[in-house]
Structure 1
Amino acid sequence: MEYDKEKVDEIVLALLWLTTFDEGFGTRAWKGHSWEHLDRLYEKGFIGDPKCKAQSVVVTEEGEKRSKELFDQYFGMGNA
């Protein structure tokens, strides 16, 4: 199936915002999305390497900022 991978990556990054949490030494998010998309977000510098035993992934400062922006863009109340 053909689809806009950039747009899907944006949506996945936006949805990561819902599962972010602060561990005291950085922000993490639960990694319940496809490896294909998580790998691309890692390559773009938004998250740490998802290929680890942890059930969550490190979210970079840039990733946290962009995740919130995208969540607001796609799901904010101004879009209702």
Structure 2
Amino acid sequence: MDIDEDKIDAAALALLWLTLHDERRAWKGLDWDVTDRLFKKGLIEDPANKSKSVVLTDEGLRRSEELFHSLFARQSR
């Protein structure tokens, strides 16, 4: 199966928005390959540390909320 990693990254970033705390921190709970790609895209700060959370960049924070609403919000009737 050919997997679209950009779609995986978008869903992962949207899910990070669910666990936001301290304004821009989100709990680490994603695959390391995914967090590495999000870091390389400039959406989170370097996840390779002892912290149990990742820090979203300004762009990552904006995109995570945007993606969360577009992927998971119910459409109003």
Asked if these proteins are the same fold (TM beyond 0.5), I'd say: yes
Question: Across the two proteins, how many residue pairs are aligned to each other?
Answer: 76
TM-score, normalization by structure 2? 0.92
Deviations 1:7-62 (A, max 9, x none): 0000000000001111xxx5110010000000000000100001000000111111
Structure 2 counterpart of 1:63: 60
Q: Distance in 1 between matches of 2:72 and 2:31?
A: 21
The residue type paired with residue 9 of structure 2 is D
Residue 77 of structure 1 aligns with an amino acid whose one-letter code is: R
1:32 corresponds to which letter in structure 2?
A: G
RMSD: 1.3
Equivalent in the alignment of 2:24? 27
Structure 1 equivalent of residue 14 of structure 2: 14
Give the TM-score, by structure 1 length: 0.89
Q: How far 1:2 moved relative to its partner?
A: 2.5
Structure 1 unmatched ranges of 5 or more: none
Moved over 6 A (4+): none
Counterpart code for 1:19: T
User: Whose strand proportion is higher, 1 or 2?
Assistant: 1
